[in-house]
Structure 1
Amino acid sequence: MAAIDVSNADQRTAAPTPAGRRKKGGGVWWRHALALLALVFALFPILFIVSSAFNNAGTLSTSGLMPTRFGTDNFKDLFADPARPYWTWFKNSMIISVVSTIATLFLGACAAYSFSRLRWTGRRTGLLAILLLQMFPAVLAFGALYITFANVGNVLPAVGLNTLAGLILVYLGGAMGSNIWLLKGYFDTVPKELDEAAYIDGASHARIFFTITLRLVTPILATVAMLAFVGLWGEFLLASIFLTDVNQQTLAVGLWQTRNADVNRYFGQFVAGAVIASIPVVLVYLSLQKQLIGGLTQGSVK
């Protein structure tokens, strides 16, 4: 009986047969197929745009997944066109995105620190007001913003319509709400005992904020900076309303006008400019992707 029991135990612990392994893993193939399909769906427009940018034919009707006449004529035509100052648009977009991102980050961090660490009258009301204002459709405010800055430009031309400074001010006001809530959620995770220890040593609120708190919330700062930069880099609606001079326009507005002039004729220049415009966004994502994951996951809960 002992020999029979041992043999049965050996049979039960024996490795599964190849047929059993195939049956066990038979339901996995569709997951790989679905992932491959999603990858192809995501890469198809990118491949089409890059192929069209390096297609010397330069028209929409001759574009495809593989360039028929490989070359860089589209880039040369884009840079040589005096009516479409591409690098001026690139510079304007970079100035607006970088300055607005830095200002948004500083103002949002200061406001979030105040809401998270300080106790003052109207604190809860202020948080709820910011949340409610974010529910207001931003498109409905475009008319009011246009009239406001048109009147401001009569007094202060440097921050009126068709100026980069005026557009930056508009962007700063629209980005505060969501950023303050996101930053505050992360600031709440920093132990308050660190502040109390610094108070005992004689540190002020400003010193604690700049020397201690900001260093501990680097992931959320990188997250907000990346989201703000990417959003401002491709913003079109407000930029098309505020910037009418061709030398003051951003990349999004300038490239749209290039395409809108003659879709078939200028399609090569349009996609060539779009390929170059995507480089800063890709670099920002690649450099800050770790901070993005950490900032969103840790700041989402208190």
Structure 2
Amino acid sequence: MTTVPPLHSQVVVVTGAARGLGALMARKLADRGAKVALVGLEPEELKAAAALCGPDAGYWEADVTDLEGLSLVAQAIKEKYGRIDTVVANAGIAIGGPMLDSDPAAYNRVIEVNLLGSITTARAFLPALAESHGYLLQIASLAALTPAPLMSAYCASKAGVEAFAHSLRAEVAYQGIKVGVGYLSWTDTDMVRGADQDELMREMRAKLPWPANRTYPIGPAVDRLVAGIARRSPHVYAQAWLRGMQPMRWVLPSLVAVVGSREVARMAPRLALTAVSRMHAVGAGGAADEAARRLRRP
């Protein structure tokens, strides 16, 4: 049996690390002795986040959908530290609202960043992980386990990254690489706070059954993710109750189809009136204005 190296001897890369979940994960990994490489947009925020991770931390600006740029970053990180042991594919964005009311470019960008960006991250870093017999943790979501109306782009992307990670696990196991999936419910991040600024999204979420209708503190969620990274777990649950959703997932689409359709029909007049104002995008690793600016980029 392969022995898992302790975190204090590992080099860990975290994408989407400029703020929020990624920044705190990098700091908690550094607190446990890991040398962390923060990757994301917003160079000033990245620099500040890296400064909190100690003198061995480094940061690199990169778009996770840019294979050439991300491959150069992977090479630079390996040159700096000599190896890469773990990669956390955390970068992501979200929009909310009916699919037909959404800006097609913004809608597609969610899938591009969350799903294709995760695939690009794997392409860029798997060669280094093969050399170290390392670990890739793909951050997914409760949205991978259950569909949600008004969040179809995000749910599609997170269901996609879950399936991608499960498929990849079997492909790379013979190289000594382990692959895990991290699941989070609504956690106190920029993304969730941005969604809660929308009255109808907030109202829809309040209709969810407990415990899915709560917003959970970020600290304990990250602690559980870091513990899963240390174990190189195939599944990591940022909130313990999410584990219990796995055996129930077969029934959730039918349940959501009944309850969700009723709620959407009730909200339909208000959704139409507020379609323009609700178009927002919040990056998991960036502020709303930065995410929106990049979504508008040709």
Q: Which has the larger radius of gyration?
A: 1
Higher share of residues assigned strand? 2
TM-score normalised by the chain length of structure 2: 0.22
TM-score normalised by the chain length of structure 1: 0.22
